[in-house]
Amino acid sequence: MTVLKTERLTKQFGGLTAVDEVDLEIEQGEGVSLIGPNGAGKSTFINLVTRRLEPSYGEIAFQGDSIIGMDPHEVVQRGMSKSFQTASIFPELTVKENATIAALAAEHGSFRFNFFRNQNSYPAVDELANEVLESVGLYDERENQADSLDYGNKRRLELGIALAAEPDMLLMDEPTAGMSPDETKSTVDLIKRVKEELDLTFLLVEHDMEIVFDISDRIVVLNRGSVIAEGTPTEVQNDPAVQEAYLGGVEE
Ligand SMILES: Nc1ncnc2c1ncn2[C@@H]1O[C@H](COP(=O)(O)OP(=O)(O)OP(=O)(O)O)[C@@H](O)[C@H]1O
């Protein structure tokens, strides 16, 4: 099943075309990375998909329905979550309380899961919060105040909060930015494990090629707003157009 589909998606800022007729499809369970040199249009693309920016023209369908014209929160309710680079943690609450609030918000915000959980709602929320904390490795920290977590664990909690909404697709914008090599490795391992366990569909924007090649089923390469290559990590790595785009970026 196709989770996300863009067709000729375009964003112009004055005379500059930041995203130029991008066709992209992400299937259920697929992990896709969007890469490209600085200014390629990656953030603009993500902002279009999350409805924070209005496209100049083109189509975006999520779960088969057009989301053009929707507010960002409606898209979240439909199952698109964004993790990292978001101030989603309540610092004064415990880890467990943070996960519970996220799970509750999903209960009330989503029409999909209310159907299954209409009766005994609180136990279901509690169970979901515990499951999420286990899956991000924070179950033992559950009674601690969120503020007391170290940097790596705070990022894990952010991922947990995003997962508690049971997203159909998770967007991640540089999830390991600012992390130490150890924290980076454990976050990458975590994303890989969560993807396997929960059959997570994700779209990742990341500069670190080692992470991208390690974590992605498929890579889409943007340059000056256009898709210049697409394929498995090996295919993309060996693509002359990609090598040229990156080398060109260095020369400029
Ligand atoms: N709000 C805006 N107004 C005008 N131009 C913009 C705006 N946002 C982005 N741009 C321009 O659009 C182009 C694409 O920018 P974007 O931030 O999407 O690239 P990126 O691939 O995310 O870059 P980076 O890797 O450096 O974050 C750039 O030339 C940028 O200057």
208-220 pLDDT per residue, tens: 888 999 999 999 9
Q: Of 11, 44, 222, 250, which is best to mutate to test ligand 1, by the most ligand atoms within 8 angstroms of its C-beta?
A: 44
Same domain, 163 and 175: no
Q: Based on the fold, state whether residues 67 and 179 are members of the same structural domain.
A: yes
Residues 149 and 188 in one domain: no
Is residue 124 domain-shared with residue 194, that is, in the same domain?
no
ipTM score over 0.95, yes or no: yes
Region 3-25: what's the mean pLDDT? 97
User: Which domain does 226 fall in, by range?
Assistant: 1-79+168-252
End position of a domain, from candidates 167, 198, 223? 167
158 and 209 in a single domain? The answer is no
Mutation test residue for ligand 1: of 11, 12, 13, the one with most atoms within 8 Å of CB: 13
Same domain, 185 and 221: yes
Interstrand relation of 65-66 and 80-83 (parallel, antiparallel or unpaired): unpaired
How confident is the prediction for the chain on average, in pLDDT? Answer: 86
Distance (angstroms) between ligand 1 centre and the Cα of 228 equals 17
**pLDDT tens digit sequence for 136-177:** 889 999 999 999 999 888 888 988 888 887 788 999 888 888
The CATH number linked to 61 is: 3.40.50.300
Are residues 92 and 54 part of one domain? Answer: no
Whole-angstrom CA distances from 103 to 58, 145, 169 are: 33, 18, 16
Query: Which amino acid residue places its CA nearest to atom 31 of ligand 1?
Result: 39
Ligand 1 pocket: which residues have CB below 6 Å? 13, 16, 18, 36, 38-44
Residue with tokens 């340059």: 223
Max alpha carbon distance in the chain (Å)? 62
Backbone angles phi, psi at 143, to 5 degrees: -85, -5
Question: Do 139 and 119 have their domain in common?
Answer: yes
Q: How many domains does the chain have?
A: 2
Query: Domain check: are 46 and 22 in the same one?
Result: yes
Q: Which residues of 74-88 are buried (b: 16+ CB within 10 A; e: fewer)?
A: ebbbbbbbbbbeeeb
Of 136, 56, 68, 58, the residue nearest 98 (C-alpha): 136
Residue 251 sits in the same domain as residue 172: yes
Q: How far is the CA of 177 from the centre of ligand 1 (A)?
A: 18
Please name the helix (run of DSSP H) or strand (run of DSSP E) that holds residue 154, with its range, or none.
helix 151-164
Q: Do 68 and 173 reside in the same domain of the chain?
A: yes
Q: Of 150, 167, 184, which residue sits at a domain end? A: 167
Among 103, 136, 167, which residue terminates a domain? 167
Task: Indicate if 217 and 251 belong to the same structural domain.
Answer: yes
State residue 114's pLDDT score.
44
